[in-house]
Each structure stands twice: as C-alpha cells, then as structure tokens.
Amino acid sequence: MIKIYNTLTREKEEFHPITEGKVKMYVCGPTVYNYIHIGNGRSAVSFDTIRRYLEFRGYDVDYVSNFTDVDDKIIRAAKELEITTPEVAERFIKAFMEDTSQLNVKPADHHPRVVDYIQNIIEFIQVLIDKDYAYVVDGDVYYRTRKFAEYGRLSDQSVDELEVGASQRTGAEQQVKEDPLDFALWKNAKQGEVFWSSPWGNGRPGWHIECSVMATQLLGDTLDIHGGGQDLEFPHHENEIAQSEAKTGEKFANYWMHNGYVTIGEDDEKMSKSLGNFVTVHEILQEIDPQVVRFFLATTQYRRPLRYSQKTLTEANNNLQRLKNTYENAVFRLNNATNSLTDDNEKIAEVNQLINQFITAMDDDFNAANGITVVYELAKWVNRYIEQDTVSYEVLRFALDNFIELVAIFGIVFEENLADEQVEQLIEERNQARKNKDFARSDEIRDQLKEQGIILEDTPQGTRWRRKS
C-alpha cells in the first residue's frame, strides 16, 4: 500500500484515489519568463518520477502541469527583451519543453496555459464575489482571506501570525484592501500592460486564481494529488485552497506534496532566482550528460533538500556508470547464455524478492534513495550471476528486463545495442561453432544477434554484418 506524506496533515497517509485505479494529479509548472533553474528542474523530475512509479504500480495517471504565461515577471521580461509578452512566454515554454525532454521528463497529459482560460477565470471570480468571498475596488478584485476559516492550515500558520507580516507591507495596494491578508484575484491593467475585458474593467488574473481554475476545469473540483515546490506552499497553494473550496464547497485536493529545495554552497543556501544564486538547467545541459543530471535529481527522496555541487554530480555520474556497466555486461552475456537450468525457479525467486524490496521502499512516500539502493543490490545480483560458468537465458532475461524497468522509473533508459567489438566477438564464436559442427549454437547466436537488429550475411569471403535500419 502506497503511503504519501500529506503536507496538509503533516502525516504519512495511505493513498486511496477518488476513483479506483485512477489518479488525478496537478503539479504547478513554471512561470515562463526565463530558463528554468535546477530547483525548477528538480520539481519537474521529482513529480515525473512519482508519476512513473504510480504507473508502474498500475494506476492510470491523468497528469496536468500548467504554464503561467500571464504574470508581472513576464511583463518585465518583455520590456527588457523588447518583445511582446506572448513572445516571451512562447520562447521559454519551448525552452522548458526542450530542457525537460533532455531530462526525460514525460510531457504532461495536459499543459494548460493561462491565456486559454481567461473566461473561466472571470466566471470563477464572479462566483466568489456572489458568495461574498471577494470584493471589487477600482477595477481590482480581492479575496476576503479571513472569511475562509481554515486559512493557514497548509503552511501551519495562524491568521494572527500572518497578519503581523502582512501589516508590515506598504504600497498603494495595501491601502485599498479591507484587510492586509487579502490577495488579488484580478488586477486592473496599468498603462501598456496586456489586458482582457471583464465586468470590473480591463485587467488580468492574479497568479493564484489561475491554477485553481485550470486544475478544476481539467480534473474536477477535487484532485487526488496536488504537487509543487516547497516554496509554493505559502502563499500560492494556501490561496488556491481558500479560493477553490470557497467556490466549489468541496475539498480541493486530498494529498498535498511538496519537493524540497536544491541548495548550493557550503552553507546549503536555497537556490532561487530572487537570490541570484541559481544555475539554469539549460546551462548545465551544455556541459553535463543529461542522464547524469536526471539521475542526480531523481534518486534523492523528493522531500529532502538536495545539495548541488561538483561532488554530488560526480557521485551521480559514478553510480549511473556502474548501472550502465551492469546493463552492458548482462546484454553481452545474454548472447551466450544457455536454455533453462535446474535452478531457474530459485534464481527467479531471488530476483522477485529484490523487486518486492524495491516496491516496499518506494511505497513509503516514494523514497527514491531507498529504492535506488535496492536497484544497486539487483545490479550486484546480476553481476554475480553473469560471472558463473553457465547462465540461464530465461533467468538473465527476467532479471535484465526487471532491472531495465526499475531504472526507467528514475527516468534512465538503456538502449540494448551491442558495441561493434561485442558483435565481432559473437561472430567469431559462431564461426568456431560452425567449424565444430555445433550448428545449434551457431543458429542460436544468429538468432540472438537478429533480435538486437544485427543482420549476418555469410559470403565466400567470410561473415559480414550490418545493423538493421
């Protein structure tokens, strides 16, 4: 049984989806005004790994991750780059898809953009006004935070504590609010800004309302899982809960999940664009193998902080290389394995035991660190097995297939391609078998090479080979 640490309750809870066998999952995506930094990349990779594991466990996951393409930061970037806000958004959505594709993050089932949901947002806000949860001031619309009794529960803060911080803010917006805690649902357009017409005047949505609308439009009033980075816990997700539940009268999400920060430097300082200490995924992928970056991001338990350094990247590279070596050696050994042996069932049981240990580890709040440790144990098992004088094809194929499947949950894919020198060795073994009139072994090698796309041609000048196109 999968258990998830629910930020809302601060406990691990057994996972029970709303509909048996199906998961409705919404993960906050990027605000597209720049390349994503490695912390954003961690969120994308962490929830992709969680999605992959849920699918491995047999769930049909409806996965939604949005693009915020209307925002103050995008407007500022447009001015700096001297292009339009849609052009800024389009540029960095494309960059996000390219960078995350290199990290083998599967595209979401839905990648909604705010600009496609403006009318839905306006209608959502109007319901909140009609219910007296929101009010209009000179073209702006604000949410009455205090009216929502459970405000602050997700971030474990009381309204009184929040009021102290809010009351210290200054600016024109604070002067017109009924309460310092109230937040914007709709912003009156300033000169030169992108805007849409609404019952309250020309303007654009506030940040928080956007995700509530896109999530409920695509997945319904109640989600199974809502995820995102730890920095979104407050105020973004807190505000999503308040406005969504006020509008629908239903629980917004049953399980709230937040991945930990990526830290940098000896003091483990949180990496962020606001602190100016960030490294973009785009830059990293120019210098480091994307599979190494993916492995680095995917194999730490998602809630734990993750230190970004040359040392941790080197460790990830070394560990990944050991798994690659296991894979390549096993593929090569597979091509001169025998048919079933008497101890096949015993060996398959040993592999199944390791698979069950992996499931136990990952069922515990997707503990990738413990899960990958079991994969290392499976790699050791494979390494010991292929060193035996006689190896069963069936057992090794079973072990290798499961090894490939478990590693793929972390987003790592190995291609079953023999190196040229390995092909030449197998052809030499086949030639020797033919000389010895061991035609069964000769045919077996031909068939095994054919399975991997290697075509043999026996000519008077010797055996030639080519890869199937």
Is 247 marked within a binding site? Answer: no
Burial of 332 (0-12, 13-18, 19+ CB in 10 A): middle
The b-or-e profile of 391-422 (16+ CB within 10 A means b, else e) is bbbbbbebbbebbbebbebbbbebeeebeeeb
Give the sheet arrangement for strand 60-65, strand by strand.
Answer: 60-65, 22-27, 223-229, 253-259
Q: Which amino acid is at 325?
A: N
The answer to whether the annotation marks 123 as part of a ligand binding site is no
Evaluate whether 110 touches 218 at the Cβ level (below 8 Å): yes
Q: CA 367, CA 116: separation in Å to the nearest integer?
A: 36
Burial of 175 (0-12, 13-18, 19+ CB in 10 A): exposed
What would the DSSP string read from start to end of 116-131? Answer: GGHHHHHHHHHHHHHT
- Please, what sign has the CA dihedral across residues 318, 320, 322, 324? negative
163 is in an annotated binding site: no
Task: Extract the tokens encoding 467.
Answer: 């890869």
- CA atoms lying within 13 Å on the CB side of residue 399: 35
**Bridge partners, 135 (sequence order):** 142
22 is in an annotated binding site: no
The DSSP code sequence of 56-98 is: HTT-EEEEEE-BB-SSHHHHHHHHHHTS-HHHHHHHHHHHHHH
Q: Which residues are annotated as a binding site?
A: 28, 211, 236, 240, 273
Q: Which residues are annotated as a binding site for ATP?
A: 273
Q: Which residues are annotated as a binding site for Zn(2+)?
A: 28, 211, 236, 240
